Amino acid sequence: MAYSLDHLLVIGISSRALFDLEAEDEIFREQGLDAFRSHQLRNENKVLNPGAGFALVKALLKLNALVPEQRMVEVVVMSRNSSETSLRIFNSIEHYGLDISRAALTGGAPLSPYLKAFNVSLFLSLHEDDVQAAINSGVASAMLYPMPPNAADMEQIRIAFDGDAVIFSDESERIYQQHGVEAFEQHERENAKKPLPEGPFARLLVALSYLQNQFKTPDGRAFPIRTALVTARSSPAHERVIRTLRAWNIAIDETFFMGGVNKSEVLAAFKPHMFFDDQHGHCIKASDFVPTGRVPIRQTQQKQQEQQ
């Protein structure tokens, strides 16, 4: 009987995001494919250190152990490596006891065409072109920053999101960027009761909310997943966010309307396994404290053609 990924939260993660392969990537860039291949074959029994997305993957996979009769999460390693050079990756997966059995190894070809074939809900990578292509195809995706030196390893799965251009569309963000804060606030006042359009991570948030509901305790607490919205919005732009989440029937556990205040201290206190934001400035500051992924803006088909 064929195995279906249709009703699972599927995380696609590149080998460089799962493990620390920066030295190997440098060999590839500076010395070429043959040198990289030789290095990987010589070191295929040497375990790789965890990478920027390791903690999130490890945490999410624990959900399967909590309810053995109902698998909830699947992780697919998606790599531009060939099968010949990938044995070190599989050996490292086995060493850390990660419940990962599926992989897409494209031998240098782009990964994005295979995301929907594996029903990927979230794609994590250090390769900007793959992340942008994934976002353009409608898959939630983020380019990860290097791990902070003292990242917390929480038992509870914790994920934090920015709002505009991540959970919600970039419609309001564009107004702010083009016309300033007063125009943005006026637009949000006028549309306060109109739900915001979905952004690239809206469906992922819905999936996480569904998983939370599977673990709710009698007092209403959702363990072992906790979510946070950390947004630069403040009053009067808060109302539309609250009404939108209500319309989507989603309850985020913790919400912070920062009003332009640096997000880093709040994130350091929340201790997420991953924080997703669309702005490099926010991401670079946050990445000193917590694992961070940048969500690129989806490009129109016309813009994609112009860049080709």
**251 shares a domain with 196:** yes
> pLDDT tens across 265-276, in order?
999 999 999 999
Range of the domain at 128: 9-144
pTM for this one? 0.90
Last residue of a domain, one of 80, 111, 144: 144
Out of 130, 162, 170, 277, pick the active-site residue.
Answer: 162
Asked if 113 and 60 sit in the same domain, the reply is yes
What span, in angstroms and rounded, lies between the C-alpha atoms of 214 and 260?
35
| One domain for residues 171 and 192 | yes
- Mean pLDDT of all residues in 52-81: 90
Regarding whether 222 and 116 lie in a shared domain, the answer is: no
For residue 111, being part of any structural domain is answered with yes
Task: Look at residue 164 and tell me if it is in a domain.
Answer: yes
| Whether residue 162 lies in the annotated active site | yes
129 plus 182 within the same structural domain = no
| 90-117 core/surface letters (b: 16 or more CB in 10 A; e: else) | bebbeeeebebeebbbeeeeebbeebee
CATH number for the domain spanning 238: value is: 3.40.50.1000
Cβ-proximal residues to 297 (8 Å cutoff; 6+ apart), any chain: 135, 165, 170, 278
Of 223 and 138, more confident: 138
Identify whether residues 99 and 169 lie together within a single domain: no
Flag whether 3 is in a domain.
no
Whether 113 is covered by a domain: the verdict is yes
Residue 1 falls inside a structural domain: no
User: Is 130 found in the same domain as 202?
Assistant: no
The count of domains in the chain is 2
Answer whether residue 6 shows pLDDT above 90: no
* SS3 call for 131: helix
Taking Cα atoms as reference points, which of 117, 20, 9 lies closest to residue 62? 9
Residue with the bigger pLDDT between 307 and 113: it is 113
Task: Write down the mean pLDDT value for the chain.
Answer: 89
- By DSSP bridging, strand 225-231 and strand 254-257 are parallel
pLDDT tens string 168-208: 999 888 888 898 888 888 888 889 899 999 999 999 999 99
**Greater model confidence, 222 or 69:** 69
CA angle 294, 244, 252 (to 5 degrees): 65
